[in-house]
A = this chain, B = another copy of it.
Amino acid sequence: MAETDKSSAASHPLIESDHIEGTVVYDADGKRVGTIKRLVIEKVGGQVAYAVTTFGGFLGLGAETHSIPWEQLNYDTALGGYKTRITEEQLRKAPEFSRGDELLLSGHERKQLGDYYVAPF
């Protein structure tokens, strides 16, 4: 049911803030590894800062919530979801503050998290 609607919404370049939950995140190999729970947006600029994402697809890793900097998510129109180069190993060692679900990150934490994920691994 609603297969056409879903595919039409998936291929549309825009998405509503209240329809974001559940958007799939894939790893570099195109394997489904998690889903987006919410986006966190800069109030002034209107730019997405990071995505609170639930990971559960990595072998040996239970369901965990991580804040993922927006720069680490690349929308793939063919997949209808976001691809990330972030690895299971990186998630395991991610800063403690980036695992929370409810708190908004400070500017300092955002910078620290951005640096963590771009650092050579």
| Residues of chain A from 56 to 70 with CB closer than 8 A to chain B in the complex | 70
Residues of B within 8 A of A44 (CB): 13, 75
Residues of B within 8 A of A12 (CB): 43, 104
- Does A42 contact B14, Cβ atoms closer than 8 Å? yes
Question: Is residue A86 contacting chain B, with contact meaning CB distance below 8 A?
Answer: no
Residues of A within 8 A of B (CB): 9, 12-18, 20-21, 38-44, 46-49, 52, 70, 73, 75, 104-105, 107
How far does the Cβ of A57 sit from chain B's closest Cβ, in whole Å?
Answer: 21
- Does A16 contact B75, Cβ atoms closer than 8 Å? no
How far does the Cβ of A20 sit from chain B's closest Cβ, in whole Å?
Answer: 5
Residues of B within 8 A of A52 (CB): 16
How far does the Cβ of A89 sit from chain B's closest Cβ, in whole Å?
Answer: 25
- Does A46 contact B48, Cβ atoms closer than 8 Å? yes
